[in-house]
Amino acid sequence: MTISGASDGTSHLPPSERRRRTAPRLQRTPEVYGGAECFGREASAYTKRRLPPGTAVAYELGAERTDRYERALAYLRVGGPMVNDELLERGYATPLAIEPNTRYEERFNRLAADAAAARRGLWGACPRP
């Protein structure tokens, strides 16, 4: 599957018949629209650089396939690395575990804790991520 565009840190637009948005699971990036949050623009810019149109991704759906906004709930990989990991370890996202999509919860919590300890990204820029 290839990315057709990214609108913010968690919404990616893979082409499909329904052009469904995708939200990487077990994380939350700061909001960009409707009142930008601290480090939201940076998280959005990183995602747009990391997932430009035409990027080939592997797409692993979570146990619950969509959220209430009809976004596909997925883990995304580009080559080998999981994009979800990168957002957390670079401090562009915080962990967010919502049952039943908890497959990588422990791993994502560890990545975020390491980013927080190193004050990377939002952990160093925001008063209270």
Tens digit of pLDDT for each residue in 10-63? 666 555 534 455 655 567 888 887 778 999 999 989 988 998 888 888 888 888
Domains of the chain (ranges, CATH numbers): 22-124 (2.40.50.90)
pLDDT digits (tens, 9 = 90+) for 67-124: 887 777 888 899 988 999 999 999 999 998 888 989 999 999 999 999 999 999 999 9
pTM of the predicted model as reported, rounded to 2 decimal places? 0.85
The string of DSSP letters for 63-129 reads: EEEE-TT--EEEEEESSSSBHHHHHHHTTS-EE--BTTB-TTHHHHHHHHHHHHHTT-THHHHSS--
